[in-house]
Structure 1
């Protein structure tokens, strides 16, 4: 411990990281540099600065990463139509490699000896933060207090905070406990409290971004999304930056009851966990992106992407964003998006995302002359289908003939 002089702490200003800040000072006798990432969590970040100053921190970094987060992490992930275990849109997972990147950058900038985070020893985030840090700075030293200290309960954390005069907004046990939440521009997640029983339905008062589908407006809203190389660049004719796109879709889709998910998932560390998620904008993006790809992607390219997507999703969920295999897959995915250009029209109505139109002026592979049920003027010779079918049936016919001989 004596050789640790300075540590960069991923700091939110909440209960855990506020205690970690003081604990690092007391146990490691080191200077702490705080780093707070603004990735669209919707909270005022200046209180984090004030808390850090009150605890004697001299170097405080608060970085606005909203555009970088959506442009360089969320959009590339959605080009692959990425979902984990069939449902989860990876809202927490995709933020961790960006935070790890800046922890390392600030450590380099401040000549820090180590980095530290507030992820517990039971969760996925410890893996994601540390795999990212090691990939970007192989010699980095990591301090994970939850794997070292004896503050193993919320009550012990609160006692520590009270003893050291650390201001926290948290209620003692015996009162209604808040959920453990994580938010960014892509989603907000909820864990703990009644959600620890998979049979218990989430309380309606828990949800923050979405109305219930039952309470959503009776009148639908239609949006027109314009795509350029697989990314949304305009909505209803108005050009928008990546962060603006996601923020707008969150607002509109959330108001129409879109994006709620109640999931039991398999954590990388081996246990199952139950969480609830709100991802309104991401839910629209996934449906709309598949719609524009249905026009512009070759069949085998689309099917190959679908086959590779679960592996790509697992790499992100498990913390391997900076791995060579994820980067290799990304190169292929991005190459597939060169002709994914055009417009998609969606209707949002009481929790549903309904595709009502898709169009690509220059890159559509949909040929009306061939696909029509009317006279195609010889564009497609239906007699050709006979040989096609017989050739594809050949192996099955041979196998059937053999079975008949044996019987």
Structure 2
């Protein structure tokens, strides 16, 4: 297949083995200038240490590092939380939610440097290739997209290391890497190794952040979370930005083993994959937001919000953030969130985050109506007429069958 002529390409660069190979490969195979774009989405200082020097050593002409942490939590994670999105009932979409903001910032970088192409290091087996390229299609359909893993003949970690060694390009990667990990402020994922056999229980190495519940404190800890319009705005009496709140709750959750899941999920490309995901602060946030919703949303509104969550989870997972449907779902959840204000106390203990106290000025819970004791506000005889009308269709259907 003949290659498209490219003059300058911006590659999403992490400093790992794959992207270290991609830079010289692009220069050799496309005879183009390569600009490295690095997204700081909270993966940690260790991951970013020396990343600019690594990119230049690999052959990049320029390196741009974008601090996206606050924006990611405020503009992508918080809106997703309002929908209640949980992929296949468990996954809090940690990797998925980082991809649209990275892709958007990469496109902006390409525009700023006058690039005519974009490149990523996603494999042909995973979801991320769809997420990146779906975002590129929505934001910059005029830019050519290069996916080296779908073009080159390198098939193993050994071959990638040999490729760099032959060109005297330094790389800290080695053959001893067992697990594939992806981290950001929201979560860390672990795949590969023992997890590739579903009958293998995850070992201690499969968990990178959180303490095991068995090793966590024997004393429960309580955090108080203030919620406004279905957003966490303060924790333990201190106003915090979205990113600050997440970092604070991450620290708490890590110590109590909160937010671990071991899931076999359905990838968009058709295969199943297994991963161990840790989302400590996010799990606490989700528990707090749903607790306030229980007080505020009526039955029909809550049911609709649940439907939004299921649909949003698939859209986000499938890389369809920049679509009219996703925008509409987020707008609907924003509307429902207007009255979701309140305060929640969350108990953190041995891997569990549990709402133990909750209150809201907008609460629809009324003790005078709900009490099992004597009341003067509800005439129980009124229920008879309601039930008769509610079940009228069933009554008529059965009477017809008896004719």
TM-score, with structure 2 as normaliser: 0.97
| Cα separation, 1, equivalents of 2:100 and 2:110 | 15
Per-residue deviation, 1:56:
3.9
- Pairs within 5 Å for 1:297-336: 297-336=297-336
Q: Quick check: 2:250–2:281 contact (8 Å CA) kept in 1?
A: yes
Per-residue deviation, 1:334:
0.6
| Cα separation, 2, equivalents of 1:21 and 1:141 | 16
Given the alignment of the two structures, is residue 10 of structure 1 paired with residue 12 of structure 2, yes or no? yes
- Pairs within 5 Å for 1:87-236: 87-172=90-175, 176-236=176-236
| Cα separation, 2, equivalents of 1:55 and 1:254 | 36
| Cα separation, 2, equivalents of 1:192 and 1:205 | 11
Q: Quick check: 1:177–1:193 contact (8 Å CA) kept in 2?
A: no
Q: Quick check: 2:230–2:337 contact (8 Å CA) kept in 1?
A: yes
SS in 2 for 1:4: coil
TM-score, with structure 1 as normaliser: 0.96
Partner of 1:255: 255
Per-residue deviation, 1:59:
2.1
Per-residue deviation, 1:381:
2.1
Given the alignment of the two structures, is residue 34 of structure 1 paired with residue 33 of structure 2, yes or no? no
Q: Quick check: 2:24–2:59 contact (8 Å CA) kept in 1?
A: no
Partner of 2:355: 355
Q: Quick check: 1:120–1:126 contact (8 Å CA) kept in 2?
A: yes
Give a deviation string over 1:145-196, Cα, whole Å, max 9, x none: 0000000111111110111122222333xxx433110000110001111111
Partner of 2:373: 374
Partner of 2:83: 80
Partner of 1:383: 381
Partner of 1:244: 244
Partner of 2:400: 402
SS in 1 for 2:14: coil
Give a deviation string over 1:251-284, Cα, whole Å, max 9, x none: 1011101111111111001111111111111111
| Cα separation, 2, equivalents of 1:57 and 1:16 | 14
| Cα separation, 2, equivalents of 1:308 and 1:79 | 9
Partner of 2:339: 339
Q: Quick check: 1:80–1:309 contact (8 Å CA) kept in 2?
A: yes
SS in 1 for 2:214: helix
SS in 1 for 2:333: helix
| Cα separation, 2, equivalents of 1:327 and 1:58 | 37
Q: Quick check: 2:17–2:171 contact (8 Å CA) kept in 1?
A: yes
Partner of 1:284: 284
| Cα separation, 2, equivalents of 1:252 and 1:351 | 11
| Cα separation, 2, equivalents of 1:138 and 1:381 | 63
| Cα separation, 2, equivalents of 1:146 and 1:241 | 38
Deviates more, 1:380-389 or 1:118-127: 380-389
| Cα separation, 2, equivalents of 1:56 and 1:272 | 36
| Cα separation, 2, equivalents of 1:231 and 1:298 | 19
| Cα separation, 1, equivalents of 2:379 and 2:139 | 57
| Cα separation, 2, equivalents of 1:165 and 1:358 | 60
Give a deviation string over 1:214-257, Cα, whole Å, max 9, x none: 11100000010000110000001001110111111111011101
Partner of 1:50: 53
Deviates more, 1:57-66 or 1:87-96: 57-66
Partner of 1:66: 69
| Cα separation, 2, equivalents of 1:332 and 1:298 | 15
Deviates more, 1:388-397 or 1:113-122: 388-397
Per-residue deviation, 1:316:
0.4
SS in 2 for 1:274: strand
Per-residue deviation, 1:2:
6.6
Per-residue deviation, 1:309:
1.7
Per-residue deviation, 1:208:
1.7
| Cα separation, 2, equivalents of 1:219 and 1:314 | 38
Instruction: Give the paired residue count.
Output: 400
Per-residue deviation, 1:126:
0.3
Q: How large is the RMSD of aligned CA atoms in angstroms? A: 1.3
Q: 1:199 to 1:84 in 2, by over 3 A?
A: same
| Cα separation, 2, equivalents of 1:167 and 1:388 | 75
SS in 2 for 1:205: helix
| Cα separation, 2, equivalents of 1:157 and 1:313 | 34
Deviates more, 1:144-153 or 1:192-201: 192-201
Q: Quick check: 2:23–2:59 contact (8 Å CA) kept in 1?
A: no
Unaligned runs of 5+ in 2: none
SS in 1 for 2:35: strand
